[in-house]
Amino acid sequence: MVNRGVLMADDLNQMDEDELDGLRVSAILEAVEAHDTARITQLLEPLHAADIADLFEQIAPGERANLLRLWSGEIDGEILSEIDESIREEVIGALPDSVVAEAMRELDTDDLVDILEDLDAAGQGRILDALEMVDRVAVEQAMSYPEGAAGRLMQREVVVAPEHWTVGEAIDFLREASTLPDQFYHVILTDPRMIPTGYVTLGRVLSSRREVRLRDILEDSFRTIDATEDEGGVAYMFNQYHLISCPVVDKGGRLVGVITIDDAMNVLDEEHEEDMLLLAGVGEESSISDGALATARQRLPWLVVNLFTASLSAFVITQFEATIVSVVALAALMPIVASTGGIAGTQSLTVAVRALATRDLTSSNARRVVRRELGAGVLNGLGLALILGCAGGLIFWDLRLGLVLGIAMIVNQVVAALGGILVPLTLERFGLDPALASGTFVTTLTDVMGFFAFLGLASVMLV
């Protein structure tokens, strides 16, 4: 058995990734309990900032507080920017002012804004006070844009060159510059009014002769983003046009910053995560680090909503009580109709919500997609009707029962397919998030219509 307090190099090489993670976390927690700061540093130092952030998210609040107290001097800006927003304020609040100040000075403006957005007024003031005046002004200007706007995603640190420069002049400028952004991919060309006219990739700059003019090696992908553009539109533009970075301009078209691909992809990830959480009815702010009370508070409202919608199904069933008493087999077959419809509705719904998020589903092709889903629902219904209808008729020795089951299955598959596509389209039409409560609505629709079709047909054909 491996001693979890001492991880040897040979042991680490022989373990798979999941086992290594578990052993390392256990060893870190043992070092925290022993107040062994040197051991903590030894275990954490090889890890990437994102992995250290994951560690803080995975351990309990008390363990996190103890680890921060012992290792706070090693926390840097990159780690803070990687920590999940659900615990970021807690982590920053536990750090000494000197550590916070030093960590914040390491970050670009886009990362600073991302951190500030999740803090209360006191926390924001604490960080702003730690910044140098130039950085503070840049961050406050970015924070003046609406929440979710491109102006909050951009970094103010930009590499700019006059549009008449040559490659040699650009290279000399880059070599002599006292400060450059930690990450940049383009040299942005501007006219005398600071209006962007194009950009050149660093690869083209380095591979071109010194006398070549920058305007002669411009990229065709050049676009600009308005600072007030919604971040969802920014992420779509990066994904659609395969951008690496994009200049941000103000109302007058003047350059105010740049958005890089890492920030755009973060938006895509966040929107995807939000859609998944909303579809499941667990709240868009749900996190694995939340406590039991917070988790229950996020989920209970949707469970209550589902309680009321489920009552509709119960009401429909009670209307056919006499039918169920006459044909007891109906009680055993009802869940099959409802659950199959629910699964089909979820399939259609998931595809629709994702297509709306990526703008593949629009008003121009909505009718075609609806017809496709309708056709798929009919075909699935016919296939399931053939299987379940024959099985039901043979098992219960009643061909009429098999026919009822088959017809009900076709009806519910059509309802599920149409509900899965029309519910998110309707929410989108009214300016609501297509993922919001869609799962609850579609499940209710398939349950109610499935029970109604099945029991209604049984009342006409079997009783």
Domain residue spans in the chain? Answer: 9-153, 160-276, 291-461
Residue (of 302, 311, 303, 380) closest to 347 by Cα position = 380
- CATH fold of 291-461, please? Tetracycline Repressor; domain 2 (1.10.357)
Q: How far apart are CA 360 and CA 358, in angstroms?
A: 5
Pick out the chain residues at pLDDT < 70: 1-20, 272-291, 294-296, 298-300, 302-303, 435-438, 463
Buried-exposed string 285-320: b where 16+ CB fall within 10 A, e elsewhere? ebbebbeeeeeeebeeebeeebeebeeebeebbeeb
Asked if residue 211 lies in contact with residue 200, where contact means CB atoms within 8 angstroms, the answer is no
DSSP helix/strand/coil, 328 = coil
β-sheet with 245-249: strand ranges across = 225-226, 245-249, 255-260
**Class of the CATH domain delimited by 9-153:** mainly alpha
Please enumerate in sequence order all residues whose Cβ is within 8 A of that of 65, keeping only pairs 6 or more positions apart, or say none: 94
Q: Give whole-number Cα distances, 382 to 303, 368, 386, in Å.
A: 33, 21, 6
Q: What per-residue confidence (pLDDT) applies to 286?
A: 54
Q: At what angle do helices 399-429 and 438-461 cross, to 10 degrees?
A: 150
Q: How many CB atoms lie within 10 A of CB 49?
A: 16
Instruction: Please give the model's pTM, rounded to 2 decimal places.
Output: 0.65
Write out pLDDT tens, residues 284-317: 555 555 667 766 676 667 667 777 777 888 888 8
CA geometry: angle at 49 spanning 47 and 54, to 5°?
A: 85
Asked, colleague to colleague, whether 9-153 and 291-461 share their fold, the answer is: no
Domain 160-276 has CATH 3.10.580.10: yes
The DSSP bridge partners found for residue 225 are 248
Q: Would you state the structure tokens that stand for residue 53, as one six-digit string?
A: 């952030």
Please enumerate in sequence order all residues whose Cβ is within 8 A of that of 374, keeping only pairs 6 or more positions apart, or say none: 414, 417, 418
Residue (of 201, 196, 209) closest to 184 by Cα position = 201
CA geometry: angle at 229 spanning 227 and 232, to 5°?
A: 130
Q: How far apart are CA 137 and CA 140, in angstroms?
A: 5
Residue (of 174, 165, 172) closest to 212 by Cα position = 165
Write out pLDDT tens, residues 50-109: 888 888 888 888 889 899 888 877 888 889 888 888 788 888 888 888 888 888 888 888
The DSSP bridge partners found for residue 247 are 258
Instruction: Compute the chain's Rg from CA coordinates.
Output: 29
